Chain A
Amino acid sequence: SQTIHQWPATLVQPVGSPLSLECTVEGTSNPNLYWYRQAAGRGLQLLFYSVGIGQISSEVPQNLSASRPQDRQFILSSKKLLLSDSGFYLCAWRQGLGARGNTIYFGEGSWLTVV
């Protein structure tokens, strides 16, 4: 069966410091991968998605970037964090091209607090 892991689970970082959140999926190949952000009291905002290695689509202009160095690895980064980057970050995956249906499955999330 497929599993998704993301880490770290909790992170407290000072303003201006870098960020790296990692996500890996097991038990599938060529998945679509996603990074969502959930700010306090708000819904889910899609930040990035990827349909393949090195292919990144950005949904909103922001201080963050994403990379997909391997088929089942998705990384969310920032060079200099802002206070507004605080939030709950969720990695997610779905079966890729040719698979019917778009059920997206989520990781457990990473809490980022920028201080």
Chain B
Amino acid sequence: AQSVTQPDIHITVSEGASLELRCNYSYGATPYLFWYVQSPGQGLQLLLKYFSGDTLVQGIKGFEAEFKRSQSSFNLRKPSVHWSDAAEYFCAVGAPDGNKLVFGAGTILRVKS
């Protein structure tokens, strides 16, 4: 069965600093991987996804993520964080032939000015 671990519950970064949110997954084959962002009291918005091909994927709002099979990781990065990036971020994994996504517990990002 798939599983996702986001080891950091909270992260605080200064505005303008770089960001990396960690995600490790467990799955027997090449999974489909996703990052979603959730602002308080709202639904989840898809930031980016990886299905196959180039292991560095670009998403919306200046985010990118890199799939590293050897480390079973799909970390999310942004070179310069803006105050509006403060939100909760979820990593998710899905089987290519499956119906479901399994989500990590989320990482709450706080941006200080």
Contacts and interface: CB of A to CB of B under 8 A. Distances in A.
B51 A101 contact: yes
Contact of B32 (A32, A44, A101, A111): A101
A104 B106 contact: no
A36 B106 CA distance: 14
Interface stretch (B12-20, B37-45, B58-66, B72-80): B37-45
B99 A51 contact: yes
Interface residues of B, number: 25
Contact residues on A (Cβ < 8 Å of other chain), bracket: 20 to 34
Contacts of A7: none
A102 B102 CA distance: 11
A90 B46 CA distance: 14
A57 B98 CA distance: 13
Interface of A: 32, 34, 36, 42-44, 46, 49, 51, 57, 59, 88, 90, 92, 100-109, 111
17 contacts: A34-B100, A43-B90, A44-B44, A49-B99, A49-B100, A92-B44, A100-B51, A101-B96, A102-B32, A102-B96, A102-B99, A102-B101, A103-B34, A103-B49, A104-B94, A106-B36, A106-B45
